[in-house]
Amino acid sequence: MKLYTEEQVRQMIDKSQATGLNADYLLLATKPIELPSDEEIEDASLEENNDDLSPAEEFQSGAKWMRNKIQGGNK
């Protein structure tokens, strides 16, 4: 799944209005954030499985992992 920031969308709208470029071209020319697939999420959860963590800690770990993926890496 591709995700675009609000700033990117605004820039695409402005560029479209100024140049007449169509949405398909602007989407191809703008680098999206790529969200991980279900398989990538499952693989990561199996790799980092830690039986010592509580369910709340597991949730926090997963949420931080997803945030890092959305921000573009393994921060």
pLDDT at 1: 74
Dihedrals φ, ψ of 2, to 5°? -100, 145
The answer to whether residues 27 and 55 belong to one domain is no
Give the pLDDT confidence of 56-73 residue by residue, as tens digits.
888 888 888 888 877 765
Report pLDDT digits (tens) over 1-27.
Answer: 788 989 999 999 999 999 999 999 999
Give the count of domains, the chain.
2
- The parent domain of residue 3 ranges over 1-34
Is the distance from CB of 33 to CB of 2 less than 8 angstroms? yes
Does residue 75 share a domain with residue 44?
A: yes
- Structure confidence at residue 75 (pLDDT): 45
Does residue 27 sit in the same domain as residue 58? no
| Token code pair at residue 60 | 């926090």
CB 30 within 8 A of CB 4: yes
pLDDT of residue 72: 67
Q: How do the residues of the chain divide into helix, strand and coil, expressed in percent and rounded to 5? A: 65, 5, 30
